[in-house]
Amino acid sequence: MNNLLTGFKTTRIRTKLILSQVFIALIPFVLVGVVGISFSVREARKNVAQRTTQTVTQVSRTLDIYMEDLDKLVYVLADEIAYRDNGSDDAEKMISTSMQNVMNNYDEIAGILYAYSDDRYISTGMTRISRDPFQKEYWYRIALEDEKSLHRISTVTGRNITTYVGYSVDDVFSIVKAVCDEKTGQVKGVLLMDIDHGIISSAISDSQIGNEGFVFVLDENDHMVYTPINDVVYRISPSWLAGEERTISARISGGRYFIRFKTSARTGWKTVSVISYDVLMEDINRMIGIYALMLIATLLLVQLFSLKLSDNITRPIKSLRDIMRKTEEGDLSLRFESSSRDEVADLGLSFNHMIKTIEQLLERVRLEEDQKRKAELKIVQEQFKPHFLYNTLDTINWMAREHKAMDIVKLVDALTSVFRISLSRGKDYITIKEEVNYIRSYLYVQKTRYEDKLVFDVDADEECMSTMVPKLILQPLLENAIYHGIKLKRGTGHITVSVHRQEDMICMAVSDDGKGMDEGTRHSLQNLLRTGARKEDIAPDDNQSFGLYYVRERLQLRYADNYRVDVESREDVGTTISIFIPFGGEG
């Protein structure tokens, strides 16, 4: 194998092209051939299955119709005998005449015999051959087992009755029916009617399934009712024909056969069709031979045309292909070079232009995303300042009118602290200690505004103070607690800010005992803070949604996925929003 590969590598490109095109020509031929032959075999089997199914169904239906007519005939004749049988000589003559009329009108009837219960009999077309009592014979006994029904007997061997024409036991089957007194219900005798197998052979002859196909009939006990002369039929095991009706594939005497059967709901007899698989495959084998000749002719033509191709076609194509493969792996620095000016060169130049355009678009997208993220973060940091400033100045204004001295001084100091930490000389990250100082000043300003409406507590562990966090990360949470919790509550509202270490994490929590929120809103905010996905029940311009959304964005930017935000809230009880970040994020 290695020598073959080595030889192929050292072969001239022209030879490689010839071998490749021959191989390529083989692929569709093999695929089409395999699929076509497989499809043809499958369709042939399907057609055979359909034909055999139609055959057994048609034969079975025809036999059912014949049997229905014969059943009616037997019932009518039995009723007539029961009506006329009064023990007189005239009655016997009338019964004999009726039987003879039936024989004359139905060619398939081989003979009719009516056996009295006292061992006398009347017959047409058949006679008794021994003096053995009828009551001891199988056909008589089976009629007495079910007096009201008729019975079919597929095997007529062992009887002391024979037909005038001399039918063999393989030429007829029998129908028997007990004849009962209409008034007393007592059995008066048994009616026996022999039916010529010609009724079956005529039904089968109308439904041929090929020269090698044949149909035979079994009774409900798997005894042969009718079969053409054939060696195969006696090698078919009745066990194959048990269960549901289906197509069976079996090997018999070295040959393969498809067998299909159908069980009559009326008689319980099975109509079985058999067709040879070898006959089916004759056309398929002929088609395979023709296909092989076409394959050889096509390969010769492919080789002839391959000799006229030049190796300068494959070289630039291979070069371009190699560059494309490396580009797919992420290397955008490669370019196609060619000294020719053919279609391959044009394709290479187009490829080079496409790669250059992709590089420019990727760089543009990268810059735009960077600028967009920075602008969004700046917006969240700056958006509250004008609103906050106006409210604070308004507060200072009314305090200047109502009070004097230290209250105004404290308020101005707190406001100054808020602005100083908010600006932080352009820094995006501050220590938790600076964040806590900002929170205290912010809450003092808000308490001055709301007076007794707002009470707050700030509890922070000293060991967490040096950890660096995104600047003003808690301010949107406090603003939500005031405007969406405390402000909507009657009476005094409490806000608690806590910063505590929990193992290797720091938990920063803002709690209020205000209005709270329903479960749907809580779930939406929770989803917003965890995934950044906004729900339909939160308006895009909602201040609460806006502030919390960028809290999540800043946490994601700082900690990637190494953080967690939990929202707990109950209506008229309060809300707690907790931020979990890694402990020890100095620097």
Is the pLDDT at 392 greater than 70, yes or no? no
pLDDT of residue 106: 87
Is the pLDDT at 390 greater than 80, yes or no? no
pLDDT of residue 541: 44
Q: For residue range 65-99, what is the model confidence (pLDDT) as tens digits?
A: 888 888 899 999 988 888 888 777 788 889 889 88
Question: Rounded distance, CA 560 to CA 439, Å?
Answer: 25
Ranked by mean pLDDT, which of 73-77, 126-130, 247-251, 409-413 comes out on top?
A: 73-77
Residue 252 phi, psi dihedral angles, 5° rounding? -135, 120
Strand partners, 569: 575
pLDDT of residue 375: 60
pLDDT of residue 532: 66
Residues constituting the chain = 587
Beta strand 172-180 with 150-153 is: antiparallel
pLDDT of residue 18: 67
Mean pLDDT (the chain, rounded): 79
Q: For residue range 1-27, what is the model confidence (pLDDT) as tens digits?
A: 566 556 555 666 566 666 777 777 777
Mean pLDDT, range 226-249, rounded to an integer:
81
pLDDT of residue 320: 75
Percent of the chain with pLDDT over 70: 80
Tell me, what amino acid is at 444? Y
Is the pLDDT at 510 greater than 90, yes or no? yes
Question: Rounded distance, CA 501 to CA 515, Å?
Answer: 28
Contact 245, 233 (CB under 8 A): no
Q: For residue range 361-387, what is the model confidence (pLDDT) as tens digits?
A: 888 888 878 777 776 666 555 555 555
pLDDT of residue 16: 65
Inter-CA distances, 477 with 198, 437, 552, 579, Å:
100, 16, 11, 10
Nearest to 263 by CA among 235, 240, 241, 234: 241
Contact 119, 136 (CB under 8 A): no
DSSP state of 341: -
Question: Rounded distance, CA 325 to CA 417, Å?
Answer: 60
Question: Rounded distance, CA 329 to CA 347, Å?
Answer: 20
Q: Which H or E run contains 433?
A: helix 432-450
Is the pLDDT at 38 greater than 70, yes or no? yes
Identify the band that residue 393 occupies on the pLDDT scale cut at 50, 70 and 90.
low
pLDDT of residue 421: 65
> What is 229-273 written as a DSSP string?
S-TTGGGS-GGGG-SS--EEEEEETTEEEEEEEEE-TTT--EEEE
Inter-CA distances, 562 with 245, 370, 435, 569, Å:
66, 21, 20, 24
- CATH class in words for 12-309: alpha beta
Place of tokens 């030889």: 7
pLDDT of residue 537: 44
Q: For residue range 479-504, what is the model confidence (pLDDT) as tens digits?
A: 888 888 888 888 889 999 999 999 89
In the chain, the N- to C-terminal Cα span, in Å, equals 63
Q: For residue range 419-460, what is the model confidence (pLDDT) as tens digits?
A: 666 655 557 788 999 889 988 888 888 888 888 888 999 999
Range of weakest confidence among 56-60, 268-272, 329-333: 329-333
Is the pLDDT at 505 greater than 90, yes or no? yes
Q: Which H or E run contains 571?
A: none
Q: For residue range 164-207, what is the model confidence (pLDDT) as tens digits?
A: 776 776 788 889 999 998 788 888 899 999 988 877 877 777 66
Contact 550, 476 (CB under 8 A): yes
Is the pLDDT at 112 greater than 90, yes or no? yes
- Bigger pLDDT: 303 vs 549: 549
Predicted TM-score (pTM) of the model is 0.45
Contact 535, 548 (CB under 8 A): no
Q: Where are the alpha helices (DSSP H) in 269-342?
A: 277-306, 314-328
Cβ neighbours around 116 below 10 Å, total:
17
Beta strand 161-163 with 126-128 is: antiparallel
Fold of 383-582: Heat Shock Protein 90 (3.30.565)
**Rg, C-alpha atoms of the chain:** 51
Mean pLDDT, range 306-329, rounded to an integer:
72
- Bigger pLDDT: 559 vs 30: 559
Is the pLDDT at 580 greater than 90, yes or no? yes
> What is 32-95 written as a DSSP string?
HHHHHHHHHHHHHHHHHHHHHHHHHHHHHHHHHHHHHHHHHHHHHHHHHHHHH-SSSHHHHHHH
Is the pLDDT at 301 greater than 80, yes or no? no
Identify the band that residue 584 occupies on the pLDDT scale cut at 50, 70 and 90.
confident
b/e sequence 483-513, b meaning 16+ C-beta within 10 Å: ebbbeebeeebbbbbbbeeeeeebbbbbbbb
DSSP state of 121: E
Question: Rounded distance, CA 197 to CA 228, Å?
Answer: 11
